Amino acid sequence: MATSAQRRQEIAAGVWDDLLRTLYGSSEAVLARQRARWCAALTDFERYFGPGRQVHLYTAPGRAELGGNHTDHQHGYGLAAAVNLDLVGVVARNEDNYIRVKSWGFNKLDVVDLDEPNPQASESTHSASLIRGLAEGFRTQGKQVGGYDAYTTSDVLRGSGLSSSAAFEMAMGAMMNEEFDCGLTPIQVARLGQYAENIYFGKPSGMLDQLASALGGVIFADFEDPALPRVEKLRAKGQMPDGMVLCVTDTRGSHSELTAEFAAIRHEMEAVAACFGCNVLGEVREAEFWARLPEVRAACGDRACLRAMHFFEENARTLAEDRALRAGQFGRFLHLVGESGHASFALCQNVYCASTPARQELSVALALSQHLLEGTGGAWRMQGGGFAGTIQAFVPRECLERYCAAMEGVFGPGSCHLLTLREQGAGRVL
C-alpha cells in the first residue's frame, strides 16, 4: 500500500503502464491520457480528503448491451459486454463510520452515516442512496462495512445507456468488499447493487448491467432464478472481428431523469404476466399469451401487449445471439442486432418519449445510421433503458471515418465514441 503522492509519481513515471494497457489498450495516446487521468484523480483525492494517506485504486467498467433489451427484469436472458470506458476510484479507510464520496463533475459530497441503515427520502434517485443501500446489503449478508473516503472520476457517459450507475455501484461494492475483507463473489456484489438501485435509489432495474461491470468480458445471463442467475462469461478477445468497430453515439439527451418511463415498461410487462397468474413474463407460456391476446388487450391495453410481444421476441433473439457469437457467426449476430433495433421501435416503444414527440434524438441517430450503413454489413440499435442517451453501431472499418464524421456533424464533436471490449471486471487494481 502506498500514499497518494507515491502512487501518482509511479503512474506518471510509467511504472504501471502494463496495467493501463490491459485496461485501455496499447495506444501511446491512450496511455498518456490515462496516466494523466489517474494522476488527476489522486491529486483531487488529496484536495478533498488530505495528503499523505495510504490509498487503493479501483476501476469499474461501463457496459454495452449486446442483446436482451428489457428482458432481465422479466427473468429472461441478457447479453452484455464490459467496455474500456470506466470509473476510477481512489479510496482510503477512515475510523468514524462515515462513507464520504466526491465524484468528478458533481457539485456535492456524498456523506453516508453507516449507523443509519434505512433509506432516506432526501437521497432517493441520488448516488448517496446507492452507497447506503450497498452498505446495508452487505450487512444483510453478515458482512460489516466500515467508513472510507473516496474520490471517483468516470468517463462512462452519464445517462447514456452505457450504465454509469452500474459502474458506480460496482466500484463502491468492490471497495466495501475488498477494503473490509467481506469475501463476496462478483455475482453477489452485483446482486447487492441491484438491491440498492431497486430499494434505495428507487429504480426498478434488472441485474444485467451490474453483472457486466462486476465480471468484465462478454457475459450471457439467464435470470430464470434472479436470486441465483446462471451466468457464463465469454472471453472478450475474439468476439469482435478485426474489420468491425463498435461505436456508440451520445445523442446528448440524458435518460437520467426518465425513471418513470423505465418503470412503466416493467409495470406493463408485469401487468400482462398477472393476467396469467404470474409475476413476470418469464413465467408465462408464449403460446398461451397469443391464444388469450384479446382478453389481455382488454385488461392491460395495447402498449402493454406490444411490450410483452417484445419480451418474447427479444428473449429468443438474445439466446440466438449468444449461440451465434459462440459459433463465430458474426454476420448472423449482426442480423439479430438489427432485428432488436426494429423491435425497440415497433414493440417496446422505448426509442423516444410519447409525451415529448418533438425530442427524438435516438430516432434521428438510428435513421442516420441506417442511411450510412445499410448494405455495408454493419448493424445499429438502441441500447440501455432507452428514450434518450446513446445508440450503438457495428461499423465496418472502411466506413468508420465517414460514419463518425456524419454522426458528429449532427450530434456535435466528440459524440461518437469507438469502444473496445474489456476483460477485467470491477475491483482493486493498485
Q: Report the DSSP beta bridge partners of residue 48.
A: none
Contact 417, 250 (CB under 8 A): yes
Residues 273, 296: Cα–Cα separation, whole Å: 9
CATH number of the domain residue 197 falls in: 3.30.230.10
User: 206 and 97, same structural domain?
Assistant: yes
Query: 63 lies in which domain range?
Result: 2-236+422-428
Counting the structural domains of the chain, the total is 2
User: 213 and 83, same structural domain?
Assistant: yes
User: 250 and 199, same structural domain?
Assistant: no
User: 282 and 167, same structural domain?
Assistant: no
Q: Is the C-alpha dihedral spanning 137, 139, 145, 146 positive or negative?
A: positive
260-316 residue pLDDT tens: 888 899 999 999 999 999 999 999 999 999 999 999 999 999 999 999 999 999 999
User: 340 and 215, same structural domain?
Assistant: no
Residues 225, 228: Cα–Cα separation, whole Å: 5
Torsion, CA 78, CA 84, CA 87, CA 88, rounded to 10: 140
CATH number of the domain residue 250 falls in: 3.30.70.890
Helix (H, G, I), strand (E, B) or coil at 169: helix
341: how many CB neighbours lie within 10 A of its CB? 23
User: 189 and 137, same structural domain?
Assistant: yes
User: 224 and 265, same structural domain?
Assistant: no
Q: Which amino acid appears at position 425 of this protein? A: G
Residues 430, 424: Cα–Cα separation, whole Å: 14
Instruction: Read off the pLDDT band of 105 (50, 70, 90).
Output: confident
225-268 residue pLDDT tens: 988 899 999 887 768 888 999 999 999 876 556 778 888 999 99
336-348 residue pLDDT tens: 999 999 999 999 9
User: 261 and 178, same structural domain?
Assistant: no
What per-residue string of b and e applies to 216-234 under the rule 16 or more CB within 10 Å gives b? bbbbbbbbeebeebebebb
Q: If we measure between CA atoms, which residue out of 197, 348, 342 comes closest to residue 264?
A: 348
User: 296 and 163, same structural domain?
Assistant: no
Residue 136 confidence (pLDDT) above 80: yes
User: 228 and 330, same structural domain?
Assistant: no
